[in-house]
Amino acid sequence: MDSNKTKLAVVGGGPGGYAAAFYAADRGMDVTLIDPDVNPGGVCLYRGCIPSKALLHVAKLVNESAEASEWGIGFNKPKINLKKLREFKNGVVEKLTGGLGQLTKQRGIDFIRGTAKFKDRNTLEITRDNGDTGSLSFENAIIATGSQPIVVPSLAIDSPRLLDSTTALDLESVPKSLLVIGGGYIGLELGTVYAALGSRVTVVEMTSGLLPGVDRDLVAPLKKRLADQFEDIWLDTTVTALKAQKNGTKASFKGENAPGRDKIFERVLMSVGRKPNTGGVGLENIGIELTDRGFVRVDDARRTNIENVFAIGDVAGEPMLAHKASHEGRVAVDAIAGDNAAFEPRAIPAVVFTDPEIAWCGLTQTEAKERGVEVEIAKFPWGASGRAMTLGRSDGLTKLLIEPKSERILGVGIVGPGAGELIGEGALAVEMAAVASDLSMTIHAHPTLSETVMEAADVFLGHSTHYYRPKRKR
């Protein structure tokens, strides 16, 4: 490969990288995007967000067909055709990534399938997928290399029975028993899929609750539902050892709720978190600074300590969310273009795509307590929602965190079906500094779940139509 030059080199084609590359091209920049996959998409589209949501949709359908008997409708036990299910999941991925490939061409972006490593502050060493090597000179670069699953060294066994968040999505088979190590969102989402397909799922979480860090009142309805779907949920428990055997993997435990003996599982899913991909990129060659936790250190414009090198997405810090990466990419491009740009959102929505879904944005109740921020909590239970009742799902909750004096919305939390769709209004409210009366006076369609946001504001103001709480003193 001959030496090339580019205005902007983007290393990594995930939601942060391709969003940055597309936006830069739209702004008239000469852009080169480097990624090892056939088309842009990254972990999210190929091995994360999208394939897992396709499978979660199927899991929800299976579960709802079983629950329909309570409404007077009976179905035979679903027949699972794994080959067809994999084809559906893979088809979704191929359509989306193929579309991104077309958008890359339409924007005139030079897409290089391969890997990149910094040689100096203006040069990348490129290794294409066919083995060809060469160099690329750049004026500016954006590091968007993402993250990878964490493997606990003491539990790292060389066995195909040990899965991570990537291999679990391959869905090669449905094991009779599955041990999920880690009660975070990845473990619970994938555990939900396998349980719906017929696996006996056991979740082990080292802390005292599922989804550590998420407000307990939002987690409660999910925990109750998962208790029926999963074989066991062991909190305050750790896995101390894994040993491959002919008939499965033997796991040893310790902790307050640990079983009294070792247990054998057909498959084990390790989902204890993710770590940034900072190795093999040549960051040390140009003196890129890392934080104590191994993330690339960036400023508000996503600029590293090297003036012309930026970092976005998972590699630049938490939260590790695709939409956060995309917005960071736009900020970095604006900064490269000379604009006064800063990444300073008040509300980055987060969603756990289990059933029920959990979503939140802005300040959480847990954070408010830790930081000593005075807030008033207004909750509207879905047991008072007509739409939730028609869905047979009255266990949900919508809550607002409100600044008592100004009545400004500081945070929103929702648990229930479709919470991920509903949180958008909450994010807008927080970002726009809306007050409770803004939500109250916005007419919401009836009967809908979105009404619960309005009614939560009405609870705060003391005049919710469908839920009574004594009026607050002003």
Residue 363 within a domain:
yes
Could you give the CA distance from residue 358 to residue 222 in angstroms, rounded to a whole number? 8
Same domain, yes or no: 109 and 249: no
Residue 410 within a domain:
yes
Residue 341 within a domain:
no
Tell me phi and psi for residue 2, to 5 degrees.
-75, 160
Same domain, yes or no: 125 and 48: yes
Among 336, 363, 386, which residue terminates a domain? 336
Among 311, 336, 361, which residue terminates a domain? 336
Q: Which residues are bridge partners to 36 per DSSP?
A: none
Same domain, yes or no: 184 and 58: no
Same domain, yes or no: 87 and 23: yes
β-pairing verdict for 162-163 and 147-149: unpaired
Residue 171 within a domain:
yes
Same domain, yes or no: 370 and 433: yes
Same domain, yes or no: 220 and 363: no
Same domain, yes or no: 368 and 262: no
Supply the CATH number for residue 257's domain. Answer: 3.50.50.60
Per-residue pLDDT of the chain (474 residues; tens, 9 = 90+): 344 899 999 999 999 999 999 999 999 999 999 999 999 999 999 999 999 999 999 999 999 999 898 899 998 888 999 999 999 999 999 999 999 999 999 999 999 999 999 999 999 999 999 999 999 999 999 999 999 999 999 999 999 999 999 999 999 999 999 999 999 999 999 999 999 999 999 999 999 999 999 999 999 999 999 999 999 999 999 999 999 998 999 999 999 889 989 999 999 999 999 999 999 999 999 999 999 999 999 999 999 999 999 999 999 999 999 999 999 999 999 999 999 999 999 999 999 999 999 999 999 999 999 999 999 999 999 999 999 999 999 999 999 999 999 999 999 999 999 999 999 999 999 999 999 999 999 999 999 999 999 999 999 999 999 998 876 665
Report the predicted TM-score, pTM, of the whole model to 2 decimal places: 0.94
Residue 42 within a domain:
yes
Residue 342 within a domain:
no
Supply the CATH number for residue 386's domain. Answer: 3.30.390.30
Same domain, yes or no: 137 and 19: yes
Same domain, yes or no: 388 and 456: yes
Residue 179 within a domain:
yes
> What total of structural domains would you count in the chain?
3
Same domain, yes or no: 230 and 327: no
Residues assigned a catalytic role: 446
Residue 265's domain comprises: 153-272
Same domain, yes or no: 34 and 97: yes
- Are residues 416 and 356 in contact, defined by beta-carbon separation less than 8 angstroms? yes
Residue 468 within a domain:
no
Same domain, yes or no: 280 and 262: no
Among 289, 311, 336, which residue terminates a domain? 336
Residue 96: closest CA among 141, 47, 56, 45: 45
